[in-house]
Amino acid sequence: MKRILLVEDSTLFGSSVKEKIESKFECAVHWTKSLKDTEALFAEQEEDFAIGILDFVLPDAQNGDIIDMAIIGISSDEDGVVSAQFIKSGASDFLNKPFLAEEFYCRVTQNLDLLDYIQEVKDLSSKDFLTGLYNRRYFFDLGKKIHASALREKTKIAVATVDIDYFKRVNDTHGHDVGDLVIQSVSNILVNACRETDIVSRFGGEEFCILTPNITPADSLKLFERVRQTIQDSVIQVQGADIRVTASIGVCSTLLKTLDEMIVRSDQMLYRAKNQGRNKVQIT
């Protein structure tokens, strides 16, 4: 459910706007009456707001909390000065008081649709089309920042390379469509087994790469042994067939100078797991 911030000092008008939103949209409205209350709300809320409906220009409208949402300004602006201030401060839309309910609904709908479109574009650029996992590009973009932070703060991270064993046999026996479903099933296992803070990505084909921040080597081994075991125990039912696969996993739990070096080391551990019979975790 999307969250909408309403900043309006008039109790009567604020109640009316809040009621209009909640009666028409599946959104949670958070209503504040002053800048001080708004700043306090930002401090205590972890989730982002989709839209901010504001009846005055916030002095700090360039901060991150404001920039990340679509802003609809509302005011009794007869000479156009206030509307210009809103737009200059980064607002995406403006309504003069009083306004018709249908006009208000139209503006909110347009902004919600725009946010959905922007998110879709972001997903296309950062996520793998088949699995919905992060793609290789996003993994490197975010992973390098996490790695740099680990070097700076002297914290532990791990990088794991996961490869489905004998995947060519699945494609040759059942076809590529079934192979895609197997990849999707393994992807779901990886996401469910890992923590929310872990970066799970598909590197291509049947290979995945995972970055786990703030984790010790011992916990890394436990995590990826659990992943390996879950994949081995899972039965993937596709087109009336029960398909079982296993995966080999290489892990680099040593913080090296670059993320690239850690990926190369995890690849080396992966090849060692393959050479030792597959369906194994090798860690360094």
Q: pLDDT value at position 68?
A: 62
The SS3 call for residue 276 is coil
Residues 217 and 148 in one domain: yes
Q: Among candidates 70, 30, 22, 34, which has minimal Cα distance to 46? A: 30
pLDDT for 243 beyond 50: yes
Contact 66, 7 (CB under 8 A): no
Confidence band for 48, pLDDT divided at 50, 70 and 90: confident
Q: pLDDT value at position 56?
A: 64
Q: Which residue has the higher pLDDT, 92 or 5?
A: 5
Q: pLDDT value at position 61?
A: 43
Chain segment 137-158, per-residue pLDDT in tens: 999 988 999 999 899 888 899 9
Residues 143 and 246 in one domain: yes
Residues 108 and 178 in one domain: no
Q: pLDDT value at position 63?
A: 46
Residues 147 and 264 in one domain: yes
Residues 279 and 169 in one domain: yes
CATH number (domain holding residue 216):
3.30.70.270
CATH number (domain holding residue 89):
3.40.50.2300
Chain segment 226-240, per-residue pLDDT in tens: 999 999 999 988 877
pLDDT for 255 beyond 80: yes
Range of the domain at 52: 2-123
Q: Is residue 55 part of a domain?
A: yes
**Domain final residue pick, 92, 123, 154:** 123
Q: Which residue has the higher pLDDT, 266 or 40?
A: 266
Rounded to two decimals, the pTM is 0.65
Residues 114 and 164 in one domain: no
pLDDT for 133 beyond 60: yes
Q: Is residue 77 part of a domain?
A: yes
The SS3 call for residue 183 is helix
Q: Is residue 86 part of a domain?
A: yes
- Residue identified by tokens 């398909």 is 243
Residues 148 and 116 in one domain: no
Counting every residue written for the chain, the total comes to 284
DSSP string of 53-88, one letter each residue: EESS--TTTTSHHHHTSEEEEEE--SSSHHHHHHHH
Q: pLDDT value at position 257?
A: 94
Confidence band for 77, pLDDT divided at 50, 70 and 90: low
Which one is catalytic: 206, 207, 225, 261? 206
Residues 163 and 227 in one domain: yes
pLDDT for 223 beyond 80: yes
261 among known catalytic residues: no
| Mean pLDDT of the region 99-109 | 88
> Please, what is the average pLDDT of the chain?
86
**How many domains, the chain?**
2
Q: Is residue 128 part of a domain?
A: no
Q: Is residue 185 part of a domain?
A: yes
Residues 201 and 91 in one domain: no
Q: Is residue 129 part of a domain?
A: no
Residues 76 and 173 in one domain: no
Q: Is residue 28 part of a domain?
A: yes
Residues 8 and 140 in one domain: no
